[in-house]
């Protein structure tokens, strides 16, 4: 019961605040992995309270984790640092709307979140890797995507390193004794999941300036700088696609960084980290760059309220990568990508009964699955086909304009699409996002020459019954014609006029429906 009470109180206290600004002074060295930090955190109280809860991992028996010194600030009576939570106990009650600032000195070896390692070329490096909620392993913070704040990183490190972080570099000073201070400041509020520093031996290149005011940089290892500059230079040509089609870029720079991230790419706000092997000199990572750049709009500026709605980040980035490729390489390329993604969704559904919106999952890493990525992408594709390009793009732009700088969930997106289209989309959103699986169709057909009618019968074999428009192509010697029918039950049948017997029938010829199917003549 005591453990339950502590956890409940900690949850309440952490969700009782809105962090306004983080200022982290970080000192790194080459002698050991100990990080020395001072966090200055300004918060606003969302409810009356005499305690503040922050996420912060305490040092464990294995020596990993953080210890704190004396916390400074007004009205502090004491603190409790236990497991993953730091509770600051106040001597007076604070009221809704009150603000307070706390200065927290700390030190320790990060158990996660900051990767202290060696690059593929054997050089020591430090790379933050906060996603999804790993930042609190090395930073005291409110580790929740819904709480966005401005941030400063003031990093002191051996002089041979270069330091990159969110925002704009406002200072770089040699301190003597072979140490240098580098100060980065981000004035656009961002979530902890995309706050970042990278400290390594870098080669840095200005790839270009977009729209006259957005510098695009490449930060790569010196050993592969020519290949890295060539590969990452693509970013300056990708960025305008999103600006022109979605809305203004929300930050003052874009840096693309070769790193030690555990992911293929990590969409840190305006400072994207890519895996070491993303550099090849062949530009094979164009899709990866497009995906992570799309996140600057979807996930970073317009952020999901909770990880249960991760598809608003990953599904969007996946589909907008396809849209970028469609714009650059043509519709056939997009169709090929959609077909590959559809197969991944079908395979995943055979081992999972989870819906896309999965607020019950507490292991957020498990949400990195085909539901969040490929199925989320396909849902946007079906919305586009159902509503038309004009309504789709107007809805996307309105969604971004409404929630840029803020947070949203799936129902918020639904309301935007309903407002723009004038349609009730409850059934669409309920079945595709809150229901597991997708249609699995078994279809037969026969032709009656005397009646000149084509009889089509089918069944939905999956557990949950879906409602959807189904396009059939009646193939004949003249090439064929498309027929659209509406399926709204487990079993369905249709009659279609036809002057002759079809050579064959193709289900979903335009690749517009997320489903699997078999069709044969009866």
The pLDDT value recorded for residue 15 is: 79
Q: What are phi and psi of 426, to 5 degrees?
A: -60, -45
Q: What is the mean pLDDT of the chain?
A: 96
Q: Are the CB atoms for 441 and 461 separated by under 8 Å?
A: yes
Q: Tens digits of per-residue pLDDT, 177-215?
A: 999 999 999 999 999 999 999 999 999 999 999 999 999
CATH code for the structural domain at 202-300: 3.30.2010.30
Q: Tens digits of per-residue pLDDT, 100-139?
A: 999 999 999 999 999 999 999 999 999 999 999 999 999 9
Residue with tokens 């201070």: 181
Is pLDDT above 50 for 217?
Answer: yes
The pLDDT value recorded for residue 240 is: 98
Structure tokens of 239? 């960025």
Residues 8 and 317: their CA atoms lie apart, in Å, by: 35
Q: Tens digits of per-residue pLDDT, 275-311?
A: 999 999 999 999 999 999 999 999 999 999 999 999 9
CATH code for the structural domain at 1-119+126-172: 2.60.40.1730
Pick the CATH number of 440-521 from 1.20.1070.10, 3.40.50.360, 3.40.50.300, 2.60.40.1840: 2.60.40.1840
Structure tokens of 308? 């249960």
Q: Which fold has domain 303-433?
A: Neutral Protease; domain 2 (1.10.390)
Residue 513 DSSP one-character state: S
Residues 232-249 have a mean pLDDT of 98
DSSP states of 284-340: TTHHHHHHHHHTTTBTTTBEESSGGGTHHHHHHHHHHHHHHHHHHH-HHHHHHHHHH
Where does the pLDDT of residue 9 fall: very low under 50, low under 70, confident under 90, or very high at 90 and above?
A: very low
Do 1-119+126-172 and 440-521 have matching folds? yes
The pLDDT value recorded for residue 8 is: 41
Residue 59 DSSP one-character state: P
Percentage of the chain modeled with pLDDT above 90: 96
Q: Tens digits of per-residue pLDDT, 392-420?
A: 999 999 999 999 999 999 999 999 999 99
The pLDDT value recorded for residue 11 is: 44
Is pLDDT above 80 for 320?
Answer: yes
Percentage of the chain modeled with pLDDT above 70: 97
Angle between helices 410-421 and 389-403 (to 10 degrees): 130
DSSP-based three-state secondary structure for 129: coil
The pLDDT value recorded for residue 480 is: 84
Q: Is the pTM of this model over 0.85?
A: yes
Residues 224 and 423: their CA atoms lie apart, in Å, by: 52
- Neighbouring-strand partners of residue 149: 190
The pLDDT value recorded for residue 14 is: 66
Q: Are the CB atoms for 43 and 100 separated by under 8 Å?
A: yes
Is pLDDT above 50 for 6?
Answer: no
DSSP states of 241-287: HHHHHT----SS-EEEEEE--SSSEE--TTEEEEEGGG--SS-TTHH
Residues 179 and 160: their CA atoms lie apart, in Å, by: 8
Distances (CA, A) of 128 to 83, 117, 179: 21, 11, 20
The pLDDT value recorded for residue 13 is: 55
Q: Tens digits of per-residue pLDDT, 250-262?
A: 999 999 999 999 9
Residues 155 and 353: their CA atoms lie apart, in Å, by: 45
The pLDDT value recorded for residue 4 is: 39
DSSP states of 163-203: EEESSEEEEEEEEETTEEEEEEEEEEEE-GGG--EEEE--E
The pLDDT value recorded for residue 477 is: 79
Query: Angle CA(194)–CA(25)–CA(131) in degrees, nearest 5?
Result: 20
Domain boundaries, the chain: 1-119+126-172, 202-300, 303-433, 440-521
Residues 242-267 have a mean pLDDT of 98
């Amino acid at each position: 019961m005591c453990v339950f009470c502590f956890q409940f109180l900690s949850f309440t206290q952490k969700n009782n605040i809105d962090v306004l600004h983080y200022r982290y002074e970080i000192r790194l060295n080459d002698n050991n992995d100990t990080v020395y930090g001072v966090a200055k955190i300004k918060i606003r109280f969302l409810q009356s309270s005499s305690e503040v809860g922050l996420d912060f991992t305490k040092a464990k028996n294995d020596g990993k984790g953080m210890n704190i010194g004396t916390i400074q600030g007004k009205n502090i009576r004491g603190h409790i640092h236990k497991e993953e939570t730091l509770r600051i106990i106040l001597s007076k009650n604070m009221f809704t709307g009150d603000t307070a600032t706390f200065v927290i000195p700390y030190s320790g070896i990060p158990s996660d979140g900051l990767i202290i390692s060696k690059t593929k070329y054997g050089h020591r490096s430090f790379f933050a890797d906060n996603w999804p909620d790993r930042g609190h392993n090395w930073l005291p913070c409110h580790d929740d995507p819904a709480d966005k704040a401005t941030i400063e990183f003031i990093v002191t490190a051996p002089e041979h390193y270069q330091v990159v972080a969110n925002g704009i570099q406002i200072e770089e000073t040699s301190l003597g004794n072979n140490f240098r201070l580098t100060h980065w400041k981000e004035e656009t509020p961002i979530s902890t999941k995309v706050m970042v520093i990278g400290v390594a031996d870098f080669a840095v290149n200005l790839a270009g300036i977009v729209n006259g005011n957005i510098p695009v940089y490449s930060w790569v290892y010196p050993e592969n700088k020519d290949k890295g500059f060539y590969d990452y230079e693509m970013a300056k040509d990708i960025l305008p696609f999103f600006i022109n089609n979605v809305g203004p870029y929300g930050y003052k720079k874009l840096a693309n960084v070769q790193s030690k991230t555990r992911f293929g790419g990590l969409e840190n706000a305006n400072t994207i980290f890519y895996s070491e092997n993303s550099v090849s000199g062949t530009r094979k990572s164009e899709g990866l760059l497009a995906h992570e750049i799309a996140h600057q709009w979807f996930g970073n500026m317009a952020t999901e309220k909770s990880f249960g709605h991760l598809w608003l980040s990953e599904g969007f980035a996946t589909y907008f990568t396809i849209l970028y490729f469609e714009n650059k390489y043509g519709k056939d390329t997009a169709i090929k990508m959609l077909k590959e993604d559809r197969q991944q969704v079908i395979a995943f559904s055979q081992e999972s009964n989870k819906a896309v919106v999965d607020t019950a999952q507490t292991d957020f890493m498990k949400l990195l699955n085909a539901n969040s990525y490929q199925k989320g992408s396909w849902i946007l594709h079906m919305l586009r086909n159902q509503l038309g390009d004009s309504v789709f793009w107007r809805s996307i732009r309105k969604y971004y304009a409404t929630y840029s700088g803020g947070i949203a969930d799936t129902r918020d997106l639904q309301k935007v699409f309903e407002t723009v289209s004038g349609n009730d989309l409850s059934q669409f959103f309920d079945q595709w996002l809150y229901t597991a699986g997708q249609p699995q169709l078994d279809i037969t057909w026969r032709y009656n020459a005397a009646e000149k009618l084509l009889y089509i019968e089918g069944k939905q074999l999956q557990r949950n019954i879906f409602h959807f428009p189904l396009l059939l192509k009646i193939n004949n010697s003249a090439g064929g014609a498309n027929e659209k029918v509406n399926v709204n039950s487990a079993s369905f049948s249709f009659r279609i006029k036809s002057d002759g017997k079809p050579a064959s029938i193709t289900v979903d010829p335009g690749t517009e429906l997320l489903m699997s199917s078999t069709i044969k003549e009866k």
